[in-house]
Chain A
Amino acid sequence: MMWMLRFILDGFFYASILFLISSGLTLIFSVAGIINLAHGCLYMLGAYIAATLIKSLIDTPYAILAFPVAAFIVGLLGLFIERFIIRWIYGRDLVYQLLLTFGLALILSDITRIVFGTEPIYVTKLYINTGVIDILGSFYPVYNFIVIIVSLIIGCLIWIILYKTRIGMMIRACALDREMSEAIGLNTGNVFSLTFLMGAILAGISGALVVPQSAAMLGIDADALVESFIVIVIGGVGSIKGAFIGSLLIGLIRSFGIVFFPEIELAIAYLVMIVVLLVRPRGLFGREFRVA
């Protein structure tokens, strides 16, 4: 049973990262109605910024600052993109919205390539330095525990912001009915900006958190984007609870899949998605949303 525990913990680790990315994506999708194809690039950018900072600060205690700084920079970038670019196409045809975010994704990933180069950046030293912990006779990296705990805290924060504050109420109102919210005097533009800021921060922090365990490299943007799509489809669009359950499922499939069926690990995730699509087309926790 001991070896099982290890895989379950690994699954929780993947799930934590995935949850942070996909909750941001699903928030933007349900509130602003935009499929943000550049979301994966924000994640990748977070990873690169954190990797560069950690690499130069590795021997000082300030290395820990890399995480909030990466999240902050990426968050600002997300806010900037919403304010100056995405803002103009809210009411427009889906074709142009997707074309725009796709264009942004290409620009961001190419800029990342130009700025940081094509070589992956490894900062495994931080991962090793945090040491291992003895659980029931087998050793497990402390870093993974930290990530799981941090993402649980962030998840709780999201829940509190969305369901216990006035701002959260505004965000949920916008997600339900934009026109009605506007009619009762809500500044929906600000709510959308806030949503993008939150989404981008989440993408940035998840990218930063994954870096010490793996690496910052090109191409992780598309993987992250598609995996969070699968999570959203399984959990249901606009549902944070759905994103949580979905990422837990995909995370566990991944950690067990890598060991037992490495060649078709991803195909299993898709299979789960297909089953959910056939049985519950709106996802496990998805609302019936309007036709359009």
Chain B
Amino acid sequence: MGFQNTLYCKVLVLTCILLLLSIPLAGSSYLNFLACMALVYSIWALGYNLLLGYTGLLSFGHGAYFGLGAYTVAILTTRYSIQSLPVVLGTAILVSTFFGTIIGYLCARHVAKYFALLTLAFSQLFYALTFKLYKWTGGSDGIGVKPLKLLGLEFSGIGDTVSYYYLVLLFFLLSLYTSWRIVNSPFGKALQAIRDNPLKAESIGIPVKRYKWYAFIVSTVYSGLAGALYAPLFGHVVPDLFHFSFSGEVLFATLLGGHRIFIGPVIGAIVFTIARSYITAVTIYWPLVLGLLLVIVALFFPHGVIGTLYTTLKGRFRRL
């Protein structure tokens, strides 16, 4: 644990923050957009990893809470012309957390495979509902999103990308800080105990089911926030956000960076966003490519991408 307090670590964190702050200096609005996307995915993956990496629960339905956040923003700004940033973001997080609380209660009572199956089924309910309630949601066309307003400033990914980037960055740093605090709190340690051995955790007095439920709720707060920030960035939301293959993307991003490392999901989300933007630029067969990547990762990287590379490289160096 001494690592976190060393000078080296502080310098590293500071450099990263400075680097993130200086991205808009490049002056490319596409780069800003991409960076926003990467940070939004990072927030999502950070919350998701509280469940996957720290509690050991594999959810295949976190697209639902992301989508709920995004759709709440879209409906509030477009249908009701409410554009005040704190109100819209707050409502979006509340809505996704509300559904997360209910569905989390139903799912957290179950273990491993059953949990994954249930979360997937529930996310697909929202997918179907967006088509049925087309008067509100616009059906398969989706709906547009108007910019958010605060103190006379407009925030959206369409107009001034620099201000939107700083908004996203602010929330990203906030999420990073809070999830770091959660992971290192007694609650976070209890979650890790549940992950490592649920029976032992139960016997030392940790209310396993209740804590799993809480972890689920906390992760849906992050998903809702990420979704809410995603909507104005794209200016348009579509039902695909609720589809389980979208939930699969956050799982893949998290595993790409490593779900046993705190910063892993962030690295994974950044790599994933960049890779996707390059691959979709050259081929229309993105699902096929993603599928192949997933199969390769699942078959040949038994400890996650970073973990496997780390052990392989360590073995190499030892031999040298």
Query: Which positions in A face B, CB cutoff 8 Å?
Result: 29, 33, 35, 37, 85, 88-89, 92, 94-100, 102-111, 114, 222, 226, 229-230, 232-233, 237, 262-264, 266-267, 270, 273-274, 277-278, 281, 291-292
Contacts and interface: CB of A to CB of B under 8 A. Distances in A.
A85 B296 CA distance: 10
Range, interface on chain B: 35 or more
Main secondary structure of the interface of B (DSSP, over half): helix
Contact of A33 (B113, B124, B248, B302): B113
A223 B173 CA distance: 38
Nearest to B247: A102
A258 to B, nearest CB: 12
B291 A106 contact: yes
A-B pairs with lowest CB-CB distance, top 7: A103-B294, A106-B291, A107-B291, A100-B298, A110-B288, A103-B295, A226-B124
Given A37-B244, A291-B111, 11 more contacts: A94-B113, A95-B58, A103-B290, A103-B294, A103-B297, A106-B291, A226-B124, A226-B244, A263-B133, A266-B125, A291-B199
Contacts of B98: none
Q: Which of A104, A106, A273, A278: most chain B CB closer than 10 A? A: A106
A230 B123 CA distance: 12
Given A94-B113, A109-B287, A233-B118, A102 B294 contact: yes
Contact of A98 (B116, B118, B243): B116
Given A226-B121, A232-B117, A291-B199, A100 B58 contact: no
A100 B110 CA distance: 22
B58 A103 contact: no
10 contacts: A98-B116, A99-B298, A102-B294, A103-B298, A105-B291, A114-B285, A226-B124, A277-B118, A281-B110, A292-B112
A175 to B, nearest CB: 14
B299 interface: yes
B132 to A, nearest CB: 5
Contacts of B302: 92, 96
B292 interface: yes
Contact of A281 (B58, B109, B116, B298): B109
Contacts of B111: 291-292
B251 interface: yes
B288 A107 contact: yes
A98 B292 contact: no
B99 to A, nearest CB: 12
A13 B125 CA distance: 23
Contact of A291 (B127, B198, B248, B295): B198
Nearest to B132: A263
A106 B245 contact: yes
Given A92-B302, A237-B114, A99 B297 contact: yes
B132 A273 contact: no
Contacts of A105: 245, 291
Contacts of A89: 298-299
B48 interface: no
A238 to B, nearest CB: 11
A92 B297 CA distance: 13
A273 B52 CA distance: 25
B129 interface: yes
Contacts of B106: 274, 277-278
A105 B120 CA distance: 14
Contacts of A95: 52, 58, 251, 255, 259
A35 B302 CA distance: 19
A160 to B, nearest CB: 28
Interface in B262-295: 285, 287-288, 290-295
B116 A94 contact: yes
Nearest to B135: A263
Nearest to A34: B113
Contacts of B124: 222, 226
Contacts of B287: 106-107, 109-110
Interface in B89-133: 106, 109-114, 116-118, 120-122, 124-125, 127-129, 132-133
A98 B295 contact: no
Contacts of A292: 111-112
Contacts of A106: 245, 248, 287-288, 290-291, 294
A278 B255 CA distance: 32
B118 to A, nearest CB: 7
A35 to B, nearest CB: 6
Contact of A230 (B52, B121, B244, B252): B121
A88 B109 CA distance: 30
A96 B120 CA distance: 16
A92 to B, nearest CB: 7
A85 B295 contact: yes
A233 B121 contact: yes
Contacts of B297: 96, 99, 103
Contacts of A107: 287-288, 291-292, 295
Nearest to A102: B248
